[in-house]
Structure 1
Amino acid sequence: MRVRGSLVLGMAVLLAVAPLTAQAATPEVPSVATSNKWDVRQVPAGYRVTLRLDEPVPVRAAMPLLAVNGIPVGVARQSADGRTLTLITSDRTAASAHDVQLVWPGDVSNAGVSARAQAGGPTDAYWLKARKGPLLKEDPGKSGKYKVETSEYNLGDEAVFLPGLGQKSEVLGKVYAPVGAVGQRPLVVFLHGRHESCYGEGVGDKPWPCPKGAKPVPSYRGYDGPAKALASNGYQVVSISSNSINAYDYDASDGGAQARAELILHHLSLWKKWSTAGGGPFGTKYVGKVDLQNVGLMGHSRGGEGVARAAVVNADRGGQYGIRAVLPLAPVDFARSSVPGVAMSVLLPYCDGDVSDLQGQKFYDDTRLSVTGDGAARSTVTVLGANHNFFNTEWTPGQSVAPSADDWGGEGNTAPCSSGYAGRLKAKEQQAVGTAYVAGFFRLQLGHEKQLLPLFDGSDARAASAGKAVVRVVAQAPLASRRDVTAFDKALAKGAVTGKATAAVCIGETGKGACLTTDGSGDAPHWDGAAYVSAAPTLAVTRLSWTGKTGAVRLNLPAAQRDVRRYAALSFRAAPDPASTPTTDLTVRVLDGRGRAAAVPVSAVSDALVRMPGNKSAGLPKNLLRTVRIPLSSLKGVNLRDVRAIELRTDRVAKGAAYVSDLAFSSPGVGSSAPAVTLPKVSVADVTTKEGNKGTNYADFVVRLSRPATRPVTVFAQTTLPYEDVMLVQDVAQAVVFKPGQVRQLVRVPIKSNTRDTFDTKFSLAIAVPKEALLARSFAQGLVLDDDPSPKLILGNLTTTEGKGEVTFPVRLSALSDKHIGFGGVWKDGTAILGPDYRGQYDPPEHTLVGGIESGKLAGELIVQAIDDKVKEPTETFTAVLDEVVGIDGIKLPVTATGTVLDND
């Protein structure tokens, strides 16, 4: 019996390549390094590294990486079945690979053994008893005056098509409503992150909807704590499901961010209808009860990037919904999108074993100064001892209905994140912290409950329900209550540095001028490259180093900025250089016009210059800038009407080094927050071009502004090369600058022309890290059309003799092709009978015929074997009939050839 599809199966066996489709075809060249699990092949852009797994790649928020000889070389793309990972790298060490493995950013899964067994870090003891701020009088983690009613709505597993995904998604949500609350209530939408979509028996090739015998993982039900805390205080909360996106986002060009944004906006459109006209599952129950002009979004894991994208898309579409507050929780930030205009707090779990590089830090870094006049408040909340999963009870062992795990993993009591370590939070302790900060943030920003402001202004106040948790908050006060002195991102004025000290601006973690050199383990959240725009500039700070107690950096204030009486504090961000001592110190000295000064040691007000816990293993300690906050009321004797200078002095420690950033005077404030609809929008359009026959062609991407701007607008553009075929496309990474009045720029991507037939090539261009603009369409698709004719397939007759063994029909192409050419069909008996007289490639004999020609070769193979016998008989014949050909267009089928078997008896 012949099974249709055996062509693909047979070619996979014959050539050991992926199925022969335009999407999976790869110009085949000899391996430069190989094993039974992986291989490395040279291609024009470098090396293609492929790893084959026994089991599908785990479903995690982070992007999978491939490591060659233990060193990560790039983000890998996974196949539909999750068992093959591929990437292109220019790293020449790939040519001498002796090992290829799947790893993850800040990999603690592979480093888990050493992480659990390591000795304590030099400052671990300090962090077990670290300073804690005063308790708030009101605890946002506690229930309020309203009873909470819960319900669910389910419009189907495939109820809405998501353009960012190309698939249909479920529309399913859990509602938390305050019973008896009068009038329109602020709406908070929760979105879970990337987790398994289904569990149980029967999970198969189609990941969504769940097959018979399997059940959906109810991730959306995992945030009861913060949802009920908010609802009991009068807020409407909806937690929505995104299992469909989790099932299919492996193939999305942006990791699913746009699809998640579209899903959120679709739910908001439903609530607009249900809260005005009524209908749907609730009738008139919520008519007049939901304020869609006062909306907050919380997104966990990949949901964090999803809610950030939703706020931006909403603004791009005119701000139909009043999205005023966004809380990314343990988020990914693959594409470096800023979120201007909207209040934001990023929650970073220090022991995150999934998004281990804490890439969500860049939401804060990239947004804080991205737009002139932005009045929103921002903060980061770093929670020591917290992992990635336990914020969701449905991802927590002992609480979830589906299988779940501690993403940091491992037992032990010595490493700062191991489950038995004294500083590690238990699941319920971590969930209590999450409840306090999630509920507190939205009550502050949507309800303007200012009594909760100290939880987010960097003053280290804390909620009693957060228990023993050590939390560090970095805050950017809103512009109305802040005066920036310097971001420390540019060279200091001549003469500003004196004594035995030096100061230089640094950026990134590699190359000239890098801030620090790391092992790629995710210990530099400010400076690690992002998945889709790895070359985009990261945070620029000043590295101050000194070899004596006489060093100083002096910043003189201009006359218009010397009166600082209206502000409450002087603050900046700081962190110790990991190459220096574990604990260092500086003195902040403030001088007035009469020469009177007040000096405050950093160590007296902050532990920002104490290295964070860990001992250079498993991505720890993290190098994170933290807050140094000096109340102006403590500057006794200084005339705050006439502050002339601020000094950072090295008189505390004889030798050291530290990073400093964002020096400002400020007062706590809620700020003003609204969709940034007035900003110019920057977009990139798809492009299609022909390959060309010689020299270099170009794919010209048009990057546009929605209107001329009065200030320069910048954005960073970078190509994401195709994983299957980089024969044509060359990588591009560049800044795009719009001068005032300009609205159109080109990003030219070189295309290497040739005269060989190949598949059309798809690739992406991402734009990121905008300045003075809002990202509208941030990903564009490039398509390079092959313009060369397909070669002809020439199949010749074969004459062979009994007993000669395997021989091949002469099969060749009229010209070289970069495609794998596969063909299939049947053996048709003549006087020769399949089995007794001849045999195809397969055993037991069957009439299936499979053959092929490797890319870059003219000749191929169609194998047959004439069976030897001891019977004298006449010459016999049979026929090869090709009725399937992959890789050649316009071929007339069938193609036949005759096989002749000569008797040797």
Structure 2
Amino acid sequence: MSGASGQLGRVIGRTARNLSLGIAVLLGVGPLSATAAPPVVAQSNHWDVRPGARGYQLTLHLDAPAPMRASLPLLEVDGKPLGVAKQSPDRKALTLISTDPAVLTARDVRLVWSGDLGKEAGQNRSIGSAGPTDAEWLRARRGPLLPSDPGALGKYKVDTAEYNLGDEAVYLPGLAHRSELRGKVYSPRGAVGPRPVVLFLHGRHEVCYGEPTNPSDTEKPWPCPPGMKPIPSYRGYDGPATALASNGYQVVSISANAINGWDSEAYDAGAQARAELVLDHLALWRKWSTIGGGPFGTRFVGTMNLQNVGLMGHSRGGEGVARAAVLNADRGGQFGIRAVLPLAPTDFARATVPGVAMSVVLPYCDGDVSDLQGQKFYDDTRYSVGGDTAPRSTVTVLGANHNFFNTEWTPGQSVAPSNDDWFGDEKESPCGAKYAGRLTAKQQQAVGTAYVAGFFRLQLGHETRFLAQFDGSDSRAASAGKAVVRVVSQAPLGSRRDLNHFDKALPAGAVSGKLSATVCAGVSGPARRSGVPTCMETEDWGNAPHWDTAWFAAQTPTTAVTKLKWTGTNGVVRVDVPAGQRDVRRFAALTFRAAPDPAGAPKTDLSVRVVDGHGRAAAVPVSAVSDALVRMPGNNEVGLPKNLLRTVRIPVSSLKGVDLRDVRAVELRTDRVASGSAYVSDLGFSSPGVGFSAPAVLLPKLSASSLTVKEGDKGTHAVDFWVRMSRPSIRPVSVYVETNGELGESVGDVARQLVFKPGQVRQKVTVPITANTRDSYDLPFSLVLSAPRDGLLNESFGHGLVLDDDPTPTLTVGNLKATEKAGVVSFPVKLSAPSDKYVSFSGVLKDGTAVIRKDYIGVSDDGTGTPDRTVEGSVEPGKTTGELQVKILDDKLKEPAETFSAVINQVDGAVLKLPATVTATIAAGD
């Protein structure tokens, strides 16, 4: 999970959507013939292109293994990311399939990573000087200490045990491979009765370590070959597991090496498989804790409450546990999954996680998932279901990287080789390994323990003394030490009163003075369907976690906020409080999210003014209660500074002189600085609360159909996917749909929001297919569902396949007549019709009266050793003539005409009766 990166320019339009291509079609990678590999049709010292079963097989060869990262590995061709690559078992070769003939003329092919898009620095390049606010963050404000430390050990001694049911104990349909069932359990010794259960799932990391006894055994990534051992990533969370178990919780940490080994073949990068693995382990524990059996006999009978379950997932495991919570609800809520903590997670498909408490941990110095895409779990879920009573939060940890939350991914602690995933000079601000603001591995692990343990103790054990840790007040655990942590919180519905989400235009008269208020979403570059201006101009998507695109749902609109811009101190945004909602005495604070515009000054400020029915008001500067309007650390390179909305929290008790029974308006005023620009979102009153969390079993489930269709010969015809709901709903349900993959010229680009009216259970999504009469590759693509409202995603990927139905053209190779002085010549090669495929054929040269190396020679023969009698020919896409070249040698002798032949015994992309023999006649040149 190292932080390898590469320079990447702007990516626009369809390019972002094509990034799923490699995963969508990698099952087509491989030789076309059982007798010989396809010929190389383009190459350089480090990459080559061969014709494949479903397109052109582009392979990049590396001198050293590529890291096993959570981000998606992409092959960038001439500055454009072409698709997601499949890594070979030794990770020295990365391959994808493309139907784009442009790969045949590529000048540059390199590996880049989805989490690094836009970074201008290489892996070892310094990130430069400190940003304008970096010193301020070194002495950043810290809130009060919690009365109890969630990271502290409790009253119970902790017993540990491991179980291993085999490396291929369970088949995972989402992976199409078998997986291990292996885990470590942490139990409170002497605890009476069934205890809450917390399950940990690690992320994508190297699978095996050591040297294989036989190098050829590494052709399959899992199980580990002889001589190598599995990396025990599941053992890397002893800190939070022990803290929880010592306080009375049962903790199980599971291994997912098989998924890491095979997930480059999965259509969704393994999210479904990880979810299935989680539920498979919970099913084991349901048996072992009720009737016993397995490796533990009756040891755990009566000890586990599987109706009170929490899930923590790290890296791709974060997306896995989010999917597991939804999959569990889809299946009727067989387990009481009530809390989910994605830790430095991926979010490739914009899923929502309603109904369950959620806290997303975002490490500011993440060098792997460096765009902090897990922020979208919070953004997309917070209003996705009306009446949702579950709380959610984000926890941004400054100075923390991706790997060090797991001791088995940490140098000096792991049994296998590991690394710091951050990159750049070690003394550079704000993330260098020896910079003052960077956390050591042990400090980071202490923070992880405090927040993982605190979250589950709050949500599963209702230990309300930890509420302040997650309410945005910056209250902190003693064991978290010097760490600077910023929490954004959405209180459960019964504990909050929303005033304005700031995602739609404000009503007439709400804005006055020298101030504009514009709704925005997204950043410059990526495809947008939001219909509103972009929030930022940036070449680096990594610094905009709210607004960069997701790889499998690139056209789903991102978070809409309001951008304030002012040139005077008289600007006012007034939000009126409706009648019936004006008594706010029961709430603890007035809150909203805010961030400075990176195009403005490093520091700005606003005042918040609360007005009652008698015109009395109390005003509070944002800077007095929050650093939300201070630019985060970094210097506009390598994904920093992050532009993250943060909490402004004004205690209601501080609004002196205002009648809290009759609050009429909340105003944002520009009276603090003469000019500035900032983003605002989610204004309301709230109080900390545990809320009520449970599987969202009552929500309708949304699924996309799959289809196979013939391409056709003329015009454009429509094919229909169906998006279905499991049952009617009494209120509208919406979901975004889009086609995804290398759509080429055949599949139309579809992206829109579907809205199901009450009672409606299915909708048609029409995809245009453009016909042609050229022989071409079958084209797989997907219809992806994302960001639902008032529904759950069930089958969120519909799979489409356009079958080419055009006849394969016939290849004709004629006889050749040449003179001795002709040099390099070609047998006449013709194709009966143009093709979209690269037509290749090969054979052997045979002497007649002409002798190889005396009268002729193959063009690939270097003249040394045994003569190379191989001959290869081709016809390029779109052409009807090609080449089968040989070189005629002039021996300067007067002699009669001589002959040799080429016997063609292999052809791909065309019809030719094999073997086919053609004859070359060499006439004397004199």
Instruction: Settle same-fold status: TM greater than 0.5.
Output: yes
Amino acid at match of 2:267: S
**Correspondence 1:616-695 to 2 at 5 A:** 616-695=636-715
* Residue 472 of structure 1, CA deviation: 0.7
Aligned counterparts of 1:513 and 1:531: Cα–Cα separation in 2? 21
Residue 807 in 1 paired to residue 825 in 2?
yes
Residue in structure 2 matched with residue 174 of structure 1 by the alignment: 184
Query: In the alignment, is the contact (CA less than 8 A) between 1:73 and 1:89 conserved in 2?
Result: no
Q: What's the offset of the Cα at 1:831?
A: 6.0
- AA partner of residue 466 (structure 2): L
The residue correspondences of 1:870-889 to structure 2 (distance < 5 A) are: 879-888=901-910
The Cα of 1:772 is off from its aligned counterpart by: 1.2
Asked if 1:126 is matched to 2:136, the reply is yes
* Match of residue 314 from structure 1: 328
In the alignment, which of 879, 886, 899 is matched to residue 857 of structure 1? 879
Aligned pairs for 1:686-705 within 5 A? 686-705=706-725
The farther-off stretch of 237-246 and 421-430 is 237-246
* Aligned counterparts of 2:44 and 2:142: Cα–Cα separation in 1: 65
**3-state SS of paired residue (1:651):** coil
| Structure-1 residue corresponding to 2:23 | none
Aligned partner letter, 1:163: P
Match of 2:621 in 1: 601
Deviation at 1:414, TM superposition (A): 3.9
What is the aligned partner in structure 2 of residue 380 from structure 1?
A: 394
Is the Cα–Cα contact under 8 Å of residues 127 and 637 in structure 2 kept in the other structure?
A: no
| 2:167 aligned partner, one-letter code | D
Contiguous gaps of at least 5 residues in structure 2 = 1-32, 526-531
Change (3 A) 1:171 1:18: farther
Q: State the Cα deviation string for residues 689-712 of structure 1 (Å, max 9, x = none).
A: 111112112342211122222222
Give 1:897's aligned residue.
Answer: 918
Residue type of the alignment partner of 2:685? F
Aligned partner of 2:547 in structure 1 is 527
CA contact (8 A) 2:204 2:315 kept: yes
Q: 2:415 aligns with which of 375, 388, 401?
A: 401
Question: Any residues of structure 2 matched to 1:294-693 within 5 Å, and which?
Answer: 294-510=308-524, 513-693=533-713
2:147 pairs with 1:137: yes
Code of the aligned partner of 2:377: F
Deviations 1:35-71 (A, max 9, x none): xxxxxxxxxxxxxx9976555543221224566887x
Shift of 1:185: 1.9
Structure 1: runs of 5 or more not aligned: 27-48
What does residue 175 of structure 2 align with? 165
Say if 1:162 and 1:262, in contact at 8 Å, map to a contact too.
yes
Per the TM alignment, residue 199 of structure 1 is displaced from its structure 2 partner at its CA by 2.7
Structure 1 residues 792-871: aligned runs within 5 Å: 792-800=810-818, 804-827=822-845, 839-843=857-861, 844-846=866-868, 848-865=870-887
Among residues 54, 58, 79, which one is paired with 1:23 in the alignment? 54
| TM-score, normalization by structure 2 | 0.88
State the secondary structure of the residue aligned to 1:19: strand
Which stretch of the first structure deviates more once superposed, 625-634 or 541-550?
A: 541-550
How much does 1:832 deviate? 5.8
Of 221, 234, 242 in structure 2, the residue corresponding to residue 220 of structure 1 is 234
Instruction: Say whether residues 1:58 and 2:60 are aligned partners.
Output: no
Q: Deviations over 1:713-756 (max 9, x none)?
A: 2211222222xx72422332222222222222222222221101
State the Cα distance separating 1:363 from its structure 2 match: 0.5
Contact 2:119 2:637 in 1 (8 A): no
Classify the secondary structure of the residue corresponding to 1:860: strand
Cα deviation for residue 665 of structure 1 reads: 1.3
Q: 1:392 to 1:513 in 2, by over 3 A?
A: same
Query: Does the residue aligned with 2:282 lie in a helix, a strand or coil?
Result: helix
The alpha carbon displacement at 1:23 in A equals: 2.9
Q: Is 1:731 aligned to 2:741, yes or no?
A: no
User: What amino acid is aligned across from residue 592 of structure 1 in structure 2?
Assistant: D
What per-residue deviation string (whole Å, max 9, x for no partner) do you get for residues 236-260 of structure 1? Answer: 2121222222222223222221121
Conservation of the 8 A alpha-carbon contact between 1:108 and 1:408 = no
Q: Which amino acid is the alignment partner of residue 589 of structure 1? A: R
Residues 231-310 of structure 1 mapped to structure 2, 5 A cutoff: 231-310=245-324
Q: CA distance change for structure 1 residues 629 and 293 in 2, over 3 Å: closer, same or farther?
A: same
In the alignment, is the contact (CA less than 8 A) between 2:547 and 2:559 conserved in 1?
Answer: yes
**Shift in alpha-carbon separation, 1:893–1:161, aligned structure 2, 3 A:** farther
How far is the alpha carbon of 1:10 from its aligned partner?
5.5
CA separation in 2, counterparts of 1:803 and 1:245?
61
- The CA deviation at 1:79 is 6.1
Matches of 1:50 and 1:417, distance apart in 2 = 34
Letter in 2 for 1:894: P
What amino acid is the match of 2:414?
Answer: S
Rounded to whole Å, the distance in 1 between the matches of 2:726 and 2:388 is 19
Counterpart amino acid of residue 759 in structure 1: Y
More moved, 360-369 vs 414-423: 414-423
Partners of 1:213 and 1:797 lie apart in 2 by 56
Identity %: 64
User: More deviation in 726-735 or 531-540?
Assistant: 726-735
User: The residue matched to 1:714 in structure 2 has which SS?
Assistant: strand
Query: Partner amino acid for 2:867?
Result: P
TM-superposed CA distance for 1:24, in Å, is 3.9
Alignment of 1:61-210 (within 5 A): 61-64=70-73, 76-78=84-86, 80=88, 83-84=93-94, 102=112, 104-106=114-116, 111=121, 116=126, 118-202=128-212, 204-210=218-224
SS at match of 1:423: coil
| Contact kept? 2:154, 2:243, Cα under 8 Å | yes
Q: Is the 8 A contact 2:42 2:105 kept in 1?
A: no
Q: Relative to 1, partners in 2 of residues 1:19 and 1:805: Cα closer, same or farther, differing over 3 Å?
A: same
Deviation at 1:337, TM superposition (A): 0.5
Q: Equivalents in 1 of 2:884, 2:166: separation in Å?
A: 50
Q: In structure 2, what is the Cα distance between the partners aligned to 1:269 and 1:491?
A: 48
Higher mean alpha-carbon deviation, 74-83 vs 230-239, is at 74-83
**Native 8 Å contact 1:107 1:353 kept in 2:** no
1:416–1:613 contact (8 Å) kept in structure 2:
yes
In 2 relative to 1, CA 157–829 (structure 1 residues): closer, same or farther, beyond 3 Å? farther
CA distance in 2, matches of 1:870, 1:504: 83
Check conservation: 1:688, 1:699, Cα contact below 8 A: no
1:10 and 1:850 in contact (8 A); partners too: no
Whether the aligned pair in 2 keeps the contact of 1:793 and 1:811 (CA below 8 Å) is yes
User: Which residue is 1:767 aligned to?
Assistant: 785
Q: 2:148 is matched by which residue type in structure 1? A: E
SS in structure 1 of the partner of residue 272 of structure 2: helix
Question: Are the counterparts in 2 of residues 260 and 306 from structure 1 also a CA contact under 8 Å?
Answer: yes
Partner Cα distance (1:857, 1:82) in 2:
35
1:801-856 deviations in Å (ceiling 9; x for gaps):
56754433333322222122233444456666666665445433255454333222
Q: Tell me: CA distance 1:278–1:881, structure 2 relative to 1, closer, same or farther (3 Å).
A: farther
Measure, in 2, the Cα distance between the counterparts of 1:96 and 1:790.
27
Cα distance 1:88–1:809, how it changes in 2: closer, same or farther (>3 A)? closer
Give the Å deviation of 1:172.
1.9
Measure the CA separation in 2 of the matches of 1:672 and 1:89.
50
State how far apart, in whole Å, the 1-side matches of 2:78 and 2:893 are: 58
Change (3 A) 1:798 1:630: same
* C-alpha distance in structure 1 between counterparts of 2:534 and 2:568, whole Å: 24
Contact 1:253-1:764 at 8 Å conserved across structures: no
Aligned residues: 875
Q: How far has the Cα of 1:341 moved from its partner? A: 0.5
